[in-house]
């Protein structure tokens, strides 16, 4: 079974102070984009003797393979979010009365979202893996057992997804949504038209945890008066701008509290943001925890122009264009898909 899920950009990312549990309360507006991850879950061996329930903590994943951009950066072990998603759903299934003879599977991930780029590529893998595994479990359930099989509706998947990561529930939902809590509490937002983006990637990723930790240190400095403590306000103006469908109205509402931390860890992002401005982007900001820079554009042709000009400036690893997407995670019905091409700047 194959399933697809989208990457995202954060149009608004307001970060609260660190909580006692180490997390931060967020107020964020997610927007799915048409960079797509495909995860395929394939049975490769029968269930172990005694049924999968005989070893409920054992992984059912026998092999992980990865293709596409940045494939060499993706872990193939139990830390992979797609692997964790498959095993989490299988354990839930077994615990709540599902069929016991779950086959062992191979997981293949076809990448379309940059790794460690602040665009939820790993979370999209988890979302797609949950959808593909749900379908597989339904198919291997004998007809006589289907009445007692647990319900695996969208709400169940989003609840399980939140155990894997704060962005996973949004990758399941898709579209445009307001996220609160750690980002897992979602309210879909109305959005007119299509937002067009140029994206600038850096060949070096950033750790989300390290970017949040740097933000905490910057705010500690601000408390002593060393630097100003500037924070995102509420997203009401952004929500109103989304209803207009006008990218010029949306541009001044984009904000990311993590951007100063990401820039302090990777100073070259300043050059990318400046290059985006010089290329004529309506607005540019670091996506999530970075280092991807998202550049809002008027339309597709403008996005191509901004991406090409930014790439030619020579400060980025590569650029591409994308657009907002209404899709959440869903089964791949075989309609055909290819990874978007990237514009690679000329090498000296």
- Cα→Cα distances 322→25, 125, 131, Å: 29, 19, 24
Q: Is 245 left (phi over 0), alpha (psi -120 to 50) or beta?
A: left
Radius of gyration of the chain (CA): 21
Q: Is there a catalytic annotation at residue 8?
A: yes
Ligand-binding site membership of 119 (annotated): yes
Ligand-binding site membership of 16 (annotated): no
Angle at 102 between CA 39 and CA 36, to 5 degrees: 10
Ligand-binding site membership of 118 (annotated): yes
Distance from the Cα of residue 56 to its chain's centroid = 29
DSSP string, 113-131: S-TTSSS-HHHHHHHHHHH
Ligand-binding site membership of 114 (annotated): yes
Coil, strand, or helix at residue 143? helix
Ligand-binding site membership of 266 (annotated): no
Check 8, 111, 202, 332 and give the catalytic one.
8
Other Cβ atoms closer than 10 A to 337: 13
Other Cβ atoms closer than 10 A to 218: 16
Contacts of residue 8, defined as CB under 8 A and 6 or more positions apart, other chains included, come to: 30, 31, 32, 33, 119, 120, 124, 167, 170, 171, 288
Ligand-binding site membership of 313 (annotated): no
Check 87, 167, 202, 332 and give the catalytic one.
167
Whole-number Å distance between alpha carbons of 343 and 174: 26
Ligand-binding site membership of 116 (annotated): yes
14 in Cβ contact with 339 (< 8 Å):
no
Other Cβ atoms closer than 10 A to 41: 27
Q: Is there a catalytic annotation at residue 167?
A: yes
Ligand-binding site membership of 124 (annotated): yes
Ligand-binding site membership of 122 (annotated): yes
DSSP string, 161-202: HHHH-TTHHHHHH-SEEEEETTTTEEEE----S--EEEEEE-
Catalytic residues: 8, 167
Known binding-site positions for ATP = 114-124
């Amino acid at each position: 079974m194959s399933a697809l899920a989208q990457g995202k950009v954060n149009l608004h990312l307001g970060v609260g102070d660190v909580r006692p549990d180490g997390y931060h309360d967020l107020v964020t507006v997610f927007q799915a984009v048409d960079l797509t991850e495909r995860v395929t879950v394939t049975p490769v061996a029968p269930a172990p003797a005694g049924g999968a329930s005989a070893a409920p903590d054992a992984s059912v994943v026998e092999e992980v393979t990865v293709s596409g951009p940045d494939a060499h950066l993706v872990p193939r072990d139990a830390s992979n979010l797609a692997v964790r998603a498959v095993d989490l759903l299988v354990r839930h299934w077994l615990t709540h009365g599902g069929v016991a003879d779950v086959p062992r599977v191979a997981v293949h991930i076809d990448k379309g979202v940059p790794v460690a780029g602040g665009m939820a590529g790993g979370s999209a893998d988890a979302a797609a893996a949950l959808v593909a595994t749900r379908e597989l479990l339904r198919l291997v359930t004998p007809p006589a057992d289907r009445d007692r099989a647990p319900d695996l509706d969208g709400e169940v998947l989003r609840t399980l997804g939140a155990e894997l990561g704060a962005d996973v529930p949004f990758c399941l939902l898709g579209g445009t949504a307001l996220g609160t809590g750690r980002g897992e509490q979602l309210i879909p937002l109305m959005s007119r038209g299509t937002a067009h983006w140029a994206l600038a990637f850096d060949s070096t990723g950033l750790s989300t945890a390290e970017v949040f930790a740097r933000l905490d240190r910057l705010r500690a400095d601000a408390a002593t008066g060393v630097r100003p403590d500037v924070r995102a306000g509420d997203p009401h103006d952004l929500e109103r701008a989304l209803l207009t469908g006008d990218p010029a109205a949306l541009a001044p509402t984009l904000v990311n509290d993590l951007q100063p931390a990401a820039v302090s860890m990777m100073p070259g992002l300043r050059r990318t943001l400046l290059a985006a401005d010089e290329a004529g982007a309506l607005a540019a900001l670091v996506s999530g925890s970075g280092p991807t820079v998202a550049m809002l554009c008027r339309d597709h042709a403008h996005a191509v122009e901004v991406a090409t000009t930014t790439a030619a400036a020579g400060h980025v690893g590569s650029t591409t264009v994308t657009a907002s997407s209404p899709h959440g995670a869903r089964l791949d019905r075989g309609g055909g898909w290819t990874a978007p091409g990237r514009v690679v700047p000329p090498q000296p």
